[in-house]
Structure formats: structure tokens, C-alpha cells
Structure 1
């Protein structure tokens, strides 16, 4: 991957960002890579703005990287975003815009994740990861959402079948390429296989 300039980050805070818990950045040692599993950035923003909790907050990553390489920050790093169960306090969530399994997330017949990540998207992700590694003193690890949430749930088309609740960033994500370009290491296996 070529030498990349620092990413241009566009701040677009979520309406409830001030309600998200503050955190000490010295405890943030992990980046979690997600894909939105939605058709586009506008739909991802709509999902991120939905209030789901009594605190008046919802589910969202810190950063969103669109297919053209545009990087948006919805939540500052010093706030705890809700993006991966059990790991939020120590992690920065980065969402890559990608259809994933949309719109049949849990249908056993639609578990393929065929959309490739774009070159501008991957370059922007690497530039963002390099910047985060420079600005967050404890940042050491990177993981995929699928590494940390291995729950299997009944398929929507046939409850007798089990499908992964989360598969992102999925089989099309180029882990070797990204790891070779950033000063982070894959999080050692934190969980026994489900």
C-alpha cells in the first residue's frame, strides 16, 4: 500500500453524542472493524441516529468510511460508542459502508457477503488506523466484529437453523493487507469458539 497522507475527517456528531459516556483515552487499546450491512451511508446515518436505550443513545461506530474513501466521525474517541457488545469501553468502532447481508441479515439463504471493499475505502481505512495509532497512546490491537460477537441465532427463514448474528467485516475484508500497512496487531483470540 502506498504512503498515505493523513485522512481528512469530517465531523458529523450524532444528535445524542453528549449523552454517551466519557472515557479515558489511556484505556482505549482496540479498534473494531465493522461493515454497515446497509445499502449506503445515508441509511447507516439513519440507523446511527435511532435512539435505542433509556440513556437517549443508540448504536453507532465512531467512524464511517464510505465507498469513495470519505471518512466521517460520528462519535469522538473520548466517548463510548455502542458498536460491539462487551468491548465498547476499550474500543474505537470503524464502520465500512458495505451491503454485507442486507436486507436479509439472518436469512440462512443469504449469508454470503459478496460486495468487495473499494480501493479508496481501504486506503482511507489504513490512513485512519495509522492516525489513530499515533494519537491514542494505548492502541495496540485490531479485531473484526465477527471476532468478538460469535453468537449464533435462529435463522429468520427457518428457526431450526442457526446463523451468525454478526459476520462483519466478512470474508472480503483483506486482513493481511491491512495488518501489513498499520502498526496494530490482530487481537489474540479472546473467546472460545461458539
Structure 2
């Protein structure tokens, strides 16, 4: 009888270890990507990036990390989900395509995919055509969490393995690419000031990603 109890205990401990060591997971939570969003995306690629193509896709070589400055996952989703951008005149002058990102990370580190990895999203001026965006729930009044640092690192490692990512930058670092061969924005005066996700978060993230030697400048 004791041997059966011992076996049961061993099996219980093994199953507990598997639960606590769960593999990295992505949950699909798609935003609208209909014919109108694709039309606006293709228009953006042509007018803002000078790229003409038949499908609104990208060849990812960069990951840009953001924060949302919106307090919850669902409210952020409601911002990104509409096809058309509203209430931001500094952006609508360039295009009526709504802002979005391919991924959204909640404060507990849960990762949601809003768009397929290679689908175009408007999130970083001059670099959208080659960049996957990762948005993190938080902002100046809600500093990003340790769980988000870990989740971003795991997600970026996954994307690197899948796409051969070369660059990882914070949104506030995109200015460094102006004037480089990677920068594709047809209007040199079209810029917005960004502080997200900040040097502190990127330092923690880069420490976790250090073995992969990602570039942060052109």
C-alpha cells in the first residue's frame, strides 16, 4: 500500500513541476483586419513608406516595444480594434488608418496576438514596413512589470527564431534611425515625440536578451 502512495506522490510532484514550468504561450485576440483596413494599410505603405505591394504584409527584421498609456487590456483592445483612427489630428493628417500592433502584453505577462506576425500594423513612424510592434499595458502612472519584462523577452526570442529579427528597440529610440537606409518616411517633418517604454524597461529587457546580440541602432 505504501508503494502506491509513494508512486502517487511522485506523480503529483511531477505534474506540479510541469504546471509551474509551463511553456511560453500566445493567445489569439484578433482585431478587425478587413478589406478596408488592408486598403488603408497598402495606401500607408505607398504614401508614407514609398512601398508598392499587393498585400499588406511585412518582412520582419525589427521589434519595437511600446507601452499603451491605457490602463486595461480591454480598453486598449477597444482603441486598436476600429479600422479608422479618430481623435488624433497629429496622426490623421498622415493617414486615417488606425494605430495598432501585432502583440499586446498584459500586466501579468499574458501575451495576446492582435494580428499575424507578418501583417502590417501602424505603430512606429518610418519603420512599420519592417517592424513587429509589442504593446505593453501600462505607462507613466503604471510602470511596466517584471512579468512584462519576462514575457517580452520570451516573445522576442520566439520571433527571432521564427523571423531572424535583427533589431530590438524601444519606441522612444526610433529617432536614431532617421537618415539611415532603414528609415522609410516620405515626409521628413512627420515625427511624434515618444518616451515609451523608457530606458529603464529596455535595460532590463536587453539584459535578458543579451546572448542574442540584437542591434539597437542602424
- 1:97 pairs with 2:123: no
* Larger radius of gyration between Structure 1 and Structure 2: 2
In the TM superposition, residue 115 of structure 1 has moved relative to its aligned partner by 2.9
- 1:1-194 correspondence to structure 2 within 5 Å: 6-16=23-33, 19=38, 20=41, 21-25=55-59, 28-50=60-82, 51-52=84-85, 57-98=97-138, 100=139, 113-137=140-164, 139-149=165-175, 165-173=193-201, 175-182=202-209, 183-188=212-217
Deviates more, 1:28-37 or 1:10-19: 10-19
Which stretches in structure 2 are left out of the alignment for 5+ residues?
Answer: 1-20, 42-54, 86-91, 177-191
1:120 match: secondary structure: helix
State the number of aligned residues: 156
TM-score scaled by length of structure 1: 0.70
Residue of structure 1 equivalent to 2:186: none
Partner Cα separation in structure 2 for residue 172 and residue 114 of structure 1: 15
Aligned counterparts of 1:116 and 1:56: Cα–Cα separation in 2:
30
In structure 2, how many angstroms separate the alpha carbons of the residues matched to 1:65 and 1:17? 23
Q: CA RMSD in A?
A: 2.5
Question: SS state of the match for residue 185, structure 1?
Answer: coil
Cα distance change of structure 1 residues 64 and 74 upon mapping to structure 2, 3 Å threshold: same
SS at match of 1:134: helix
Distance 1:77 1:42 in 2: 21
Q: Whose strand proportion is higher, 1 or 2? A: 1
Contact 1:149/1:166 (<8 A) preserved: no
User: Could you tell me whether the CA contact under 8 Å between 2:58 and 2:120 is conserved in 1?
Assistant: no
Per-residue Cα deviation, 1:107-130 (whole angstroms, up to 9, x for no partner) = xxxxxx253321222111111011
Relative to structure 1, the CA distance from residue 145 to residue 24 in structure 2 (aligned partners, 3 Å threshold; closer, same or farther) is closer
Q: Cα distance 1:116–1:9, how it changes in 2: closer, same or farther (>3 A)?
A: same
Q: What TM-score do the two structures reach when normalised by structure 2?
A: 0.63
State the alpha-carbon separation in 2 of the partners of residues 144 and 17 from structure 1. 29
Cα distance change, pair 15–56 in 1 and its aligned pair in 2 (3 A): farther
* Inter-partner Cα distance in structure 2 for 1:83 and 1:61: 6
Stretches of structure 1 lacking an aligned partner (at least 5 in a row) = 101-112, 151-163
